[in-house]
Chains A and B, each alone.
Chain A
Amino acid sequence: MTLPVGAPAAAIRRLERFSVAGRDAVLELRGIVKRFPGVVANDHVDLKIYSGEVHALLGENGAGKSTLMKVVYGLYRRDGGEILIRERPVDLRTPQDAMALGIGMVHQHFMLIPNFTIIENIVLGLRSRRYPLLKLDEAARRIQPLADDFGLKAPLTLKVGKLTVGQQQKVEIIKALYRGARILILDEPTAVLLPQETEELFKLIEKLREGGVAIVFISHKLNEVLAISDRVTVMRRGGVVRTLDTFDSSPAELAEAMVGQAVDLAVDKEDCRPRGACLEIEDAEAKDELGVLKLNGLRLTLKAGEIHGLAGVDGNGQQTLVETMMGLRALQRGRILFGGRDITYSSTAERIRAGVEHIPENRHTEGLVLGLSVTDNLLLDVFEAPPFAKSGWRQFRSMNERAEALTRDFDIRAPTPAIEVRKLSGGNQQKVILARSLWREPNVLIAMQPTRGLDVGAASFIHRQIVKARDRGCAVLIVSSELDEILGLSDVISVIYEGRIVETRSVLETNLSRIGFLMAGGKPGDVPGNPPGPVPPRA
C-alpha cells in the first residue's frame, strides 16, 4: 500500500481546474499571528477563500489549522494581522461577531448539548421574534425545510444524545446555516464518521458548494482532500507552505509539503509468518462499569507473529475486551487461554509477568502518571523488582541506565529522563508507553489507538516498532478507530459489532467498504457488490 486509504468509493477527483474568475473573495486573511505561551501557533498566515469554493486546509496535528480557524470564528483573539470579509476589514472578537458576518464553524468535537433537543441546540443563543419567549414550535417550522433538505431524518424534538454521529454533524451544519452562514468551516469533519457517512457528508458539501457557500475543510487525510476540495492550502508549523489547485496536485506532492520532506507513506513490512495460537478468547461475556453487557459470546484468537486488527465503531465492546484481556475486568462467562494455559482468573500483574503488555486508549488517564518522571513511567510495572529495587530500596543507578537506553532506542525526545512526563509532547508521551510495553519483548501486545492524535512522523515510528515486535514473534492486537491504520498495519482484520466478532479475514481478502458495512451492523452474507474472495484493499 502506498497511500492511506479512507476516501469513500464514490468520491470523485475534481474534473476541472478551479477558476477564481467571476467569484468574490469572501474571506481573506493577511499576516495572521496567534501566539500561545511559548509557541507561535500561527505565524503570518495569508489565505484567500472564494464563494462556492471548497478550500482544504491540510496539515499535520499541531500545524495550526484549527487555531487559525478559531481566530476566524472569534474564539481566539489574533495577535496580529488582518481579517477581511467580502473585502472589508473586520474586527472579530467573539463567535457572535463571526456569526453576524456569516461565518459558521463545525468543531471537531461537536458543540452540541446531548441533553437538549435538536431544536433547542439550533436556537441556543438566538433571539426569537417574541424574546424572551422561546417559541420552539415557530423555530421548528423554519428549521424543518433545512432538515429535510439535508436528509436529517430525525424528529426535531429528539434529544441530540440519541442521534448517530453522522446525524449530529448534520445538526451542527444546520445550526450554522440557520444562523445565515455563507462561510462554513468544517474542522476534521470525517474523523468521527463511518465510510458511508463520509460519503453522505461529501454529497452535502457538494450541494452547499453549488449553493455558493464557501467551505473550509480542515483535514490531515490526503485522499479526502483530493476527493472533495477545489484548492488546498498546506500548513506546517504555524505557517502556510503553499496553496495549490487540487486538480494539479499529486498525493506525494501534498504529503511532502505537509511534513517538509519526502515521506514514505507505506507501512514497510514483510509478509507475516504466523505461528501457533498465542492468546485465545472463548465465548467471552462481560459487562462494563454501568452493568451493560458489552461482550456477548466473543471469540478471538491471536497468533504469534501476526498483527490482528480490530475494527469497529467505538462502544461496541473494544474497551471491555481489552480490559478483560488485561485482567482489569472480570469475565461473566467464557475463558482466556494464553499459550494453552487458562489465565481467566490471573491478576493483571501475573499477566504482565507472563508477557502480556498493553497500550491503553487514553495516554493521560490510563497510560501515564503525568506527575512522575519519564524514568518512573518507563519502569512503572517493574520498579519494585530487581535490578531496579533490592530488598525494598530503589536502585537509582540501574533505573537511570535503563531509562537512558530506552529514551535512546525509542527516540523519546526529552531533555533528561528525570523530567516530568507531563512536559513531553503527545508523540513523545506515546513513545514512553510504547517503550514500556515493548522493551522486555512481550509475547502479546494489545495496543488501543496507538497513534491517536500523533503526527505522521511519530505515528510511523510507532508502526515500525509494532511491526518489529511482530517479526520477533509477538502476537499483536491493534484496536483503532482509524481504518487507515488498521488496513495499513494488520495482517488479519476482525470486525467487532455489539460485543461479537462479525468476521475475521486476511487483510488481502477484505477492503474498506466491506469493513465499513460490517461495522455498521451488516451481515457478512449481505455485503453489497463485494463477492467474497481477494479484493485489493484500495479505494
Chain B
Amino acid sequence: MAGSLPRKRARARFVYLGLGLAALLGLTLARGTTLGGGILTILAAPEFMRAALIAAIPLLLAALGGLISELSGVLNMALESMMLIGAFVAYTASDYAQSPWAGLVAAALAGMLVGLLHAFFTITLKANQIVSAVALNLFALAATALGFRMLYASGVFVSAPGFDALSIPFLGKLPYLGTAFFSHNILIYLGLLLIPVMWFILYRTSWGLTLRSVGEHPVAASTMGINVNRVRYLAVILSGAVAGMSGSALVSASNINAFQENLSAGRGFIAFAAVVFGRWNPIGIFFGAILFGLGDALQIRLQAYGVGVPYQLLLMLPYLITLIALVAFMRNARGPAASGIPYSDEASS
C-alpha cells in the first residue's frame, strides 16, 4: 500500500514522456508532407495564439463567474444563459447607445438579474440547482432569439460598435508576443487581470474565506456568525455579473461585433466544465479556457485551409478536446464539500 502511490506517479511520468516523444515524432513526420507543413506554419504564426486567446476570454470570464458561485456551494450551470443573455444585451445596448461600454455594463446587469433569479430559485425556494439552471438556459435561448428577431427583423447584419484594439506601448511591438498577447481590445486585458484579482480575493481576504467556508461547511460558517444565505445570494449575483460580461466578450470576439441566435453555442457548459478542470482555482481555470481557445482557433484554421473533413466535424474539435481533457485529468477532482446542497437554518438541529 505504501509503495503504490509513488509507483503510480512514476508510471504516469512514463506515459507523459511517451506521449511527448510521439508528438515530436508526429511533428517531424508532418513537416515532410505539404498538408502537415502548411498546418504547422499556421500553428507557428502569432495570429494563431492571438485567436486562441480571443476565443478563450469569454470562456474564462464565464468560468470565473461560475467559480464564485460554486465556491459558495451553489452549482451554476446557468452560465450558458448568463452568457447568451449577456451577449444579446451587450449587442443591443452598444448598438443603441453607440458605445461598447454601455454594452458591457448592460451585460453585467443582465447577468446579475439572471443570477438573482437562479439564487431565488435555489436558495430561497430550495429548488434543485441543476433543474433551475436548465430552465434558465432554455429560457435564455428562446428569449434572446425572440428579442433578436423582434429588434432586428430585417435580417441585415448590423455591426455594433466594438472595443478597439489597444496596443500596449513597447510590449505591443515585440515580435510574436506583441501580436499574440499585447495588441488586444481592453476586455481581453480585463479578463486576464481578473485571474490574479480573483485569486487574491479568494485566498487573501476575509471575503474569500467567508465565501469558501459557506461552500465547504455552511453549518460551521453559520455558527461563526456568517449569514449563509446572504453570502450565497451575493455570490450568485456577482457570478451573474462576471458571466454576463463574458457575453460582451463573446460579441466582441467576432470581428464584426454582431449577435446571432444561440451565439454562445454551449460555451457556458464548457465554462461549467472548465471550473472542474481548473480544480476550482482561477489559474487552473485559465488553462481550461485556453485549451478550448486553442481548439477553436485550430478548427477555424483547418476549415479555411481545407483539410477535406466536413466542417461540422471540425466544429466539434474544441468541445472534443475539452471533453477528453476533462476525462483524462479529472478523476479525483474534489470541489467544495457542500456544493449543490441547499442550506436551511433548522438543519443544524
Contacts and interface: CB of A to CB of B under 8 A. Distances in A.
A115 B225 contact: no
Nearest 9 interchain pairs by C-beta: A96-B225, A125-B224, A111-B220, A132-B205, A113-B217, A111-B223, A113-B216, A95-B225, A132-B206
Given A111-B219, A115-B337, A293-B1, A134 B224 contact: no
A95 B227 CA distance: 10
A124 B210 contact: yes
B204 interface: yes
B224 A124 contact: yes
B317 to A, nearest CB: 35
Central interface residue in B205, B213, B220, B223, by most chain A CB within 10 Å = B223
Nearest to B222: A95
Interface string B206-232: 111110110011011111111000000
B206 A95 contact: no
Contacts of A134: 204-206, 208-209
Given A125-B210, A132-B205, A134-B204, A111 B225 contact: no
B209 A133 contact: no
B348 interface: yes
A131 B224 CA distance: 17
Contacts of A107: 223
B223 A95 contact: yes
Interface residues of A, number: 32
A140 interface: no
B348 A75 contact: yes
A47 interface: no
Interface of B: 1, 204-210, 212-213, 216-217, 219-226, 337, 348-349
5 contacts: A67-B349, A73-B223, A116-B209, A125-B224, A127-B206
Contacts of A36: 349
Given A127-B206, A134-B205, A134-B206, A111 B224 contact: yes
A124 B213 contact: yes
Interface string A144-187: 00000000000000000000000000000000000000000000
Contacts of B207: 132
A124 B223 CA distance: 10
A448 interface: no
Contacts of B225: 94-96, 99, 125
B210 to A, nearest CB: 7
Nearest to B223: A111
Contacts of A96: 225
A119 to B, nearest CB: 10
A157 B328 CA distance: 31
A107 B217 CA distance: 14
Contacts of A73: 223
B205 A133 contact: yes
A211 B208 CA distance: 35
Contacts of A70: 348-349
A519 interface: no
Nearest to A293: B1
Contacts of B205: 132-134
B209 A112 contact: no
Interface in A448-504: none
B224 A95 contact: yes
Interface string A244-274: 0000000000000000000000000000000
B1 A125 contact: no
Nearest to A36: B349
Contacts of B217: 111-114
Contacts of B223: 73, 75, 95, 105, 107, 111
B314 to A, nearest CB: 40
A205 B205 CA distance: 34
A116 to B, nearest CB: 7
A332 interface: no
A373 B291 CA distance: 54
Contact of B221 (A123, A125, A126, A128): A125
Contact of B209 (A76, A94, A124): A124
A292 B5 CA distance: 12
B204 A113 contact: no
A188 interface: no
A120 interface: yes
A126 B225 CA distance: 9
B72 to A, nearest CB: 14
A116 B206 contact: no
Between B204, B209, B216, the greatest number of chain A beta carbons within 10 A of the residue's beta carbon is seen for: B209
Nearest to A109: B219
Nearest to A136: B204
Contacts of A127: 206
A110 B348 CA distance: 12
A116 B222 CA distance: 16
A124 B212 CA distance: 10
B213 A113 contact: yes
A110 B210 CA distance: 18
A413 B314 CA distance: 67
Given A70-B348, A132-B206, 17 more contacts: A76-B349, A105-B223, A107-B223, A111-B217, A111-B219, A111-B220, A111-B224, A113-B221, A114-B217, A115-B216, A116-B212, A124-B213, A124-B224, A125-B210, A125-B221, A125-B225, A134-B204
A188 to B, nearest CB: 15
B164 to A, nearest CB: 35
A264 B210 CA distance: 50
Contacts of A123: 209
A383 B331 CA distance: 41
A111 B338 CA distance: 14
Interface in A58-73: 67, 70, 73
A131 B213 contact: no
A73 B225 CA distance: 10
Q: Which of A73, A110, A113 has the most CB of B within 10 A?
A: A113
A134 B212 CA distance: 13
A210 to B, nearest CB: 27
A128 B206 contact: yes
Contact of A125 (B219, B226, B348): B226
Given A75-B348, A95-B225, A123-B209, A133 B204 contact: yes
A297 B19 CA distance: 40
Contacts of A67: 349
B132 to A, nearest CB: 25
B218 to A, nearest CB: 10
A49 to B, nearest CB: 20
Nearest to A112: B220
Contacts of B204: 133-134
A73 B349 CA distance: 13
B82 to A, nearest CB: 26
Nearest to A74: B225
A293 B3 CA distance: 13
Contacts of B221: 113, 124-125
Contacts of B337: 114-115
A361 B149 CA distance: 61
Pick from A99, A107, A115 the residue with the most CB of B within 10 Å: A115
B213 A116 contact: yes
Contacts of A292: 1
A435 B223 CA distance: 40
